[in-house]
């Protein structure tokens, strides 16, 4: 009788130990899988950054959380990327994607970039410039509305740059004088975006390329 009880207790202990080992193995496998997935995503992001770096036109690569390329938008325009309505609707129906595009100058994401990220409900955006890589992600409350972004930008207006992007001839005088209309654009500086991001509780980082 005593021997039977000891055998049953021993068997129960073996079962408990095996269950503990099985649970431990499951956790280890899960951690390995997550780590592997994270590393894969990082590699795909690095690959996208290397593809976009140094291009003489703007392009965008959109990745999902697994690192798969969902969209590759290129119009060979040196100053902008234009999404079709169909592409925008697709992005909105797939929230949580990562948008990566390039700038031909060392300027961080513009207010237009941030508004587009909010509209597309991206998980984060990355901008690749000749010497820097910029990263912006929303805070716990998500992306802010366009009026909230504009209000924050207005607060730190002195940190932005006003660039003349183009001059358009609008008239001329008999003595040879000409009238030009200047198209002024507000360009983010590192300091401006850093201040705006902090005000909106966004995560913002910049690395040297």
Q: What is the pLDDT of residues 76-133, one digit of tens each?
A: 888 889 899 999 999 999 999 999 999 999 999 999 999 999 999 999 999 999 999 9
Indicate whether 21 belongs to any domain: no
User: Within a domain: residue 30?
Assistant: no
What does the alpha-carbon distance between residue 59 and residue 75 come to, in Å, rounded to a whole number?
Answer: 7
In a domain, 91, yes or no: yes
CA distance between the termini of the chain = 75
**CA 122/CA 117 separation, integer angstroms:** 5
Task: Fill in the DSSP letter of residue 159.
Answer: G
Query: What average pLDDT does this structure show over 180-197?
Result: 87
Q: Is residue 9 a part of any domain in this protein?
A: no
Q: 8: pLDDT confidence band, cut at 50, 70 and 90?
A: low
Strand partners, 208: 132
Residue 90 falls within a domain, yes or no? yes
Residue 109 lies in a domain: yes
Q: Across-strand partners of 187?
A: 161
**Does 182 score more than 80 pLDDT?**
no
Q: How many domains does the chain have?
A: 1
- In this structure, is residue 137 part of a structural domain? yes
Name which of 123, 70, 133 is nearest 101 in CA terms: 133
- The whole-number pLDDT of residue 192 equals 97
Going by their DSSP bridges, the two strands 59-63 and 203-208 should be labelled as: unpaired
Q: Is 64 exposed, middle or buried (0-12, 13-18, 19+ CB in 10 A)?
A: middle
Predicted structure pTM score: 0.74
Assigned domain for 16 exists: no
Residue 51's domain spans which residues?
40-208
């Amino acid at each position: 009788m005593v021997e039977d009880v000891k055998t049953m207790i021993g068997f129960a202990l073996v079962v408990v130990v095996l269950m503990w080992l099985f649970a431990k193995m499951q956790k280890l496998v899960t951690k390995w899988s997550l780590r592997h997935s994270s590393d894969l995503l990082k590699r795909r992001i690095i690959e996208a950054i290397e593809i976009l770096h140094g291009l003489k036109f703007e392009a965008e690569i959109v990745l999902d959380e697994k690192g798969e390329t969902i969209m590759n938008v290129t119009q060979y325009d040196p100053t902008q990327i234009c999404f079709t309505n169909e592409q925008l609707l697709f992005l909105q129906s797939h929230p949580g994607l990562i948008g990566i595009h390039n700038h031909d100058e060392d300027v961080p994401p513009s207010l237009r970039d941030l508004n587009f990220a909010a509209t597309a409900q991206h998980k984060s955006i990355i901008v690749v410039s000749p010497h820097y890589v910029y990263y912006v992600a929303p805070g716990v409350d998500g992306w802010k509305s366009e009026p909230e972004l504009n209000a924050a930008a207005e607060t730190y207006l002195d940190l932005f740059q006003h660039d003349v992007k183009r001059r358009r001839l609008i008239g001329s005088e008999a003595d040879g004088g000409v009238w030009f209309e200047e198209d002024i654009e507000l360009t983010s500086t590192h300091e401006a975006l850093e201040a705006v991001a902090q005000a909106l509780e966004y995560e913002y980082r910049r690395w040297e390329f």
